Amino acid sequence: MTIAEALGTRTAPSVPTWRTDLAIGMAAALLAVLFHAVSGFPSLVSFNGDNDNLMRLAEVRDLIGGQGWFDLHQYRMGPAGGFLMHWSRLVDAPIAALILLGEALSGDRATGETAALVLWPALLFGAALFFILRSARRLGGAPAVLPAVVVGGAALHFISIFAPGAIDHHNVQLVLTLAVIAALAGPAPGLRGGAVAGASAAAMLAVGMETAPYVAAGGLTAATLFLAGGADGRRVAAGFGAAFAGAATLAFAATVDPAAWGVPACDAYSVAQFAVAMVSGGGLAAASVLPGPSATPVRRLAALALIGVAAGGLAVVFFPHCLADPYAGLDPRLQKYWLAAITEAQSLASVLSAAPAMAVSYYATPVLAALVLAAGLRRPDGRRREAVIVLVFLGAALAVSVWQVRGAMFSIPIAAIALAAWIGRRRALAAASPSPHNVLLMAVAWVASINVASTAAAERLLPVSTATAMATPAGRAKACHRATDYDRLAALPAGGVLAISNLGAPILRYTAHRVLAGPYHRNVDGNLLALRAFLESEPSARAVVREEGLSYVALCAGNDETATFAAWAPDGFLAALKEGDVPAWLEPLPGNDGSALAIYRVVAAD
């Protein structure tokens, strides 16, 4: 066997159909579910501090319970009246449908919820692996398929956004990003591939603003194909632009309250994003189909420049505040006491300083993949177009992760595409010439590409995060991450609860109470009231409880937020309560001893 035969030729498309890859992806998803089932579904028993999944379920429950489609208020969090959330009903709707279907089949709402909590992330896992497979086939041929399953599956498992109970929007956004890559990197993507990419890009923008860099990467790729000339490039750009504008219009009509059509929002899909999508998408589609703008390279460049000026000018003139740092306007106290403590919001420099092992976990395989892709561009047998497309998206994800580590949720799975192709090439070379040297290089490629391997090595050789103890079973048992920790609180008559922000979403998920604090940047007033109560003296806490009509104070002494607050304000109310100094206006409830969550009833705050 020659190396060319082992790698496959460029003219031969992937012989297995998309149905085969879809079947592989869904089979892998089933195996993942079985793995979690054998383990006792630990992510359903303990949410491990992931508040967003719990908040999403609370939001879906509100929708099922009759809250309006356009009404995104979370009425049980914050001061009286709640606050307006920034999430999308596009994610709520399918989860609600699965819950109602499960209830209809089982006759029990709780069973329907459990089924949805398992089925939704599993379906998304299968879809994500399907798109990784499609892209890996294009980049590395048939030898990349097995590595794509192994490395891609391991990457998706490592980032923990597809585990049972993971119903937050990040997994949806990742699937849509991978769909854009697969559509653009497909064989002669043409109008249909461009349309799939454009619609997926618009959908991920409608779901959340975090994916704006990947939407931009998709648009840049389509524009570059248009600029390069050729009928296929124009068809890709036309499909992308038309579908992007069209899907953006549908999403705007479906998810934005008509009463708010003229109200821009920077952190949620609104007229600001819709207007830019219409100008950029519609402009690209028009330039691609009209003979004048697409006739020559100079005209194509001029057309793209005009579209860029129009879209950019629209943003600068009408929505300039949306071009600033999204957290610049956040209250300084929340920036210091809340935002600075969120792990996924930390920069690469912060992670390197505080936890070098974590930096290796999040950045090793994406950086390796970028180097592999760059090196591949120099090979005459390299699939340059596909490699460039993957590299553009990987570069965007790496740039995001340098700013905030949350970008690793995208860079690690995208890296799996390039690493699978790299392993596939090493496999083909070893098959064609099975020398010890080639076999050793193939083994090195396998080990280096699996994120778990670099993570394990880093944790042995480098300092780990100060929160590592929280990841142990003993640490989780004290951190109030288990559903059963809230049983006693759930049994009490509904009322308002003063608790740290880490407990806000689980209290909504597991009880009927309302809370002041929650880890959401729009809950400014509620979070500031909680900070005032916990960091200031006991009289301030009593005043907050009285003013807000709260019925309970909940203390989780083993949660890292409690420890952080106590360290920041050793003379504050929370630090004193943690040390057992209970004021007369609070009554400790039976069962506090030995319980991770201590509950105090307000008896006289006046």
pLDDT, one tens digit per residue, over 465-497 is: 544 444 555 555 688 999 999 999 999 999 999
The whole-number average pLDDT for the span 414-432 is 94
Tally of domains in the chain:
2
Residue 479 lies in a domain: yes
Tokens, residue 506: 């689980």
Residue 372 lies in a domain: no
Residue 363 lies in a domain: no
* Last residue within a domain, chosen from 324, 343, 378: 324
At 588 the three-state DSSP class reads strand
- Tell me the residue range of the domain where 560 lies: 475-602
pLDDT, one tens digit per residue, over 46-77 is: 888 789 999 999 999 999 999 999 999 999 99
Q: d(Cα 501, Cα 481) in Å, to the nearest integer?
A: 13
What confidence category does residue 27 fall into, taking pLDDT thresholds of 50, 70 and 90?
very high
pLDDT, one tens digit per residue, over 387-414 is: 999 999 999 999 999 988 888 999 999 9
Please tell me the predicted confidence (pLDDT) of residue 129: 98
Residue 66 lies in a domain: no
* Last residue within a domain, chosen from 294, 324, 354: 324
Q: d(Cα 41, Cα 164) in Å, to the nearest integer?
A: 7
Q: d(Cα 50, Cα 45) in Å, to the nearest integer?
A: 12
Please tell me the predicted confidence (pLDDT) of residue 469: 43
Q: Is the pLDDT of residue 551 over 60?
A: yes
The whole-number average pLDDT for the span 311-336 is 84
Closest-CA residue to 526 (of 392, 338, 381): 338
CB atoms within 10 A of CB 543: 15
Residue 542 lies in a domain: yes
Cβ contacts of 144-148, under 8 Å, gap ≥ 24: 144/420, 144/421, 144/423, 144/424, 144/425, 145/24, 145/420, 145/424, 146/424, 146/427, 147/419, 147/420, 147/421, 147/423, 147/424, 147/427, 147/446, 147/449, 148/416, 148/417, 148/420
Q: Evaluate whether 87 touches 169 at the Cβ level (below 8 Å).
A: yes
Closest-CA residue to 536 (of 333, 361, 343): 333
pLDDT, one tens digit per residue, over 206-221 is: 999 999 999 999 999 9
Please tell me the predicted confidence (pLDDT) of residue 470: 44
Q: d(Cα 578, Cα 570) in Å, to the nearest integer?
A: 10
* Last residue within a domain, chosen from 302, 324, 346: 324
Longest CA pairwise span in the chain (Å) = 86
Residue 411 contacts by C-beta under 8 Å, 6 or more apart in sequence?
Answer: 362, 363, 366, 394, 397, 398, 400, 401
Tokens, residue 595: 């319980």
**End-to-end CA gap in the chain:** 86
- Which three-class secondary structure string do you get for 324-360? CCCCCCCCHHHHHHCHHHCHHHCCHHHHHHHCHHHHH
- Report how far Cα 382 is from the mean position of its chain's Cα atoms: 31
DSSP per residue over 132-168, as a string?
HHHHHHHHH-GGGHHHHHHHHHHHHHHTTSSSTT--S
- Report how far Cα 318 is from the mean position of its chain's Cα atoms: 29
Residue 33 lies in a domain: no
Residue 434 lies in a domain: no
Q: What CATH number is attached to the domain comprising 591? A: 3.40.50
Residue 32 lies in a domain: no
Closest-CA residue to 98 (of 60, 129, 128): 60
Please tell me the predicted confidence (pLDDT) of residue 276: 96
CB atoms within 10 A of CB 71: 14
Determine which of 1-10, 173-182, 419-428, 521-530 has the lowest per-residue pLDDT on average: 1-10
